[in-house]
């Protein structure tokens, strides 16, 4: 099973912004998030200057605590599934080696049975690979959707708080001045708004209480 492109779940850079087709989720709120600044100014008042920011979603994915946790989870899932596949492949290789080494001394029935075992394990291997691919795609899609929604929420809150007119994804623009890059500020805001999920702490077993021995009834004196 090929290793998934983990950073690719967050950003597929558009090398040419004029390209007719673009990744699906870039077209959404991350491509161009507009934050309104209230009602339009009166004609007699000077128009307020536009406040524009740009951000790099790939950097946000790599550096935020949530992004790092999701990346770790994906890597662990991939390694677990790959381990199962490697184990099954090793079983097949061992059977093939055994058949090749002993084929001259094996009966026809025994050799035929070993070939069937190899075929059955190969079918199991193909099934494992298909299941692993489906599981990774499902987990990848789930992580992408959750992270994207958190990023959109962060952009909306941050944009309104800082009175931005436009916040643009770097993947859809050809040039921007470094002065309007707000990626680091968004990372801090993202971490403030969204905490990385943590595994529940294992509960410590309660020590067993030793039953108290019944107190002996004192004997009357003289007996």
Whether the model pTM is above 0.85:
no
More confident residue, 109 or 17: 109
Question: What is the dihedral sign for C-alpha 29, 35, 40, 44?
Answer: negative
Say which residue the tokens 């912004």 belong to. 17
Residues 6+ apart with CB under 8 A from 98: 114
Sign of the torsion formed by the C-alpha atoms of 22, 25, 31 and 36: positive
Mean pLDDT, residues 24-37 taken together: 44
What average pLDDT does this structure show over 83-92? 96
134-159 tens-digit pLDDT: 999 999 999 999 999 999 999 999 99
Q: Mapping DSSP to helix (H, G, I), strand (E, B) and coil, where does residue 169 land?
A: strand
Q: Would you put residue 22 in left (φ > 0), alpha (ψ -120 to 50) or beta?
A: beta
Buried b (16+ CB within 10 A) or exposed e, 134-170: eebeebbeebbeebbebbeebbeebbeeeebeebbbb
pLDDT at 29: 47
What does the pLDDT read at residue 5? 47
Calculate the CA 119 to chain-centre distance: 35
pLDDT digits (tens, 9 = 90+) for 169-186: 999 999 999 999 999 999
Mean pLDDT score of the chain, rounded to an integer?
80
Q: Which CATH fold topology does 19-37+47-193 show?
A: Protein Binding, DinI Protein; Chain A (3.30.910)
Handedness of CA 161, 165, 171, 173 (dihedral sign): negative
Task: Report residue 207 CA to chain centroid gap.
Answer: 39
Domain boundaries, the chain: 19-37+47-193
pLDDT 10s digits, 90-124: 999 999 999 999 988 889 899 999 999 999 999 99
Confidence band for 46, pLDDT divided at 50, 70 and 90: low
Q: Can you tell me which residue has the tokens 């992004």? A: 67
Confidence of residue 72 (pLDDT cuts 50, 70, 90): very high
Task: Quote the CA–CA distance of 187 and 173 in Å, as a whole number.
Answer: 20
> What does the alpha-carbon distance between residue 90 and residue 101 come to, in Å, rounded to a whole number?
16
């Amino acid at each position: 099973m090929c290793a998934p492109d983990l950073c690719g779940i967050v950003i597929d850079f558009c090398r040419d912004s004029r390209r007719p087709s673009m990744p699906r989720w870039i077209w959404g709120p991350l491509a161009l998030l507009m934050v309104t600044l209230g009602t339009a100014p009166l004609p007699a008042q000077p128009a307020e200057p536009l406040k524009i920011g740009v951000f790099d979603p790939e950097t946000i994915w790599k550096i935020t605590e949530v992004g790092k946790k999701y990346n770790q989870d994906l890597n662990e899932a991939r390694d677990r599934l790959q381990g199962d596949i490697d184990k099954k492949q090793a079983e097949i290789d061992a059977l093939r080696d055994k058949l090749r080494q002993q084929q001259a001394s094996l009966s026809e029935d025994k050799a035929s049975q070993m070939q069937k075992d190899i075929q059955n394990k190969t079918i199991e291997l193909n099934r494992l690979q298909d299941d692993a691919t489906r599981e990774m795609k499902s987990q990848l899609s789930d992580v992408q959707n959750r992270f994207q929604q958190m990023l959109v929420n962060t952009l909306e809150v941050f944009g309104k708080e800082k009175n931005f007119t436009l916040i643009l994804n770097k993947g859809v623009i050809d040039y921007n001045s470094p002065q309007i890059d707000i990626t680091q500020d968004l990372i801090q805001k993202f971490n403030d708004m969204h905490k990385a999920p943590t595994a529940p702490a294992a509960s410590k077993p309660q020590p067993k209480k030793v039953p108290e021995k019944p107190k002996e009834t004192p004997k009357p004196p003289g007996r």
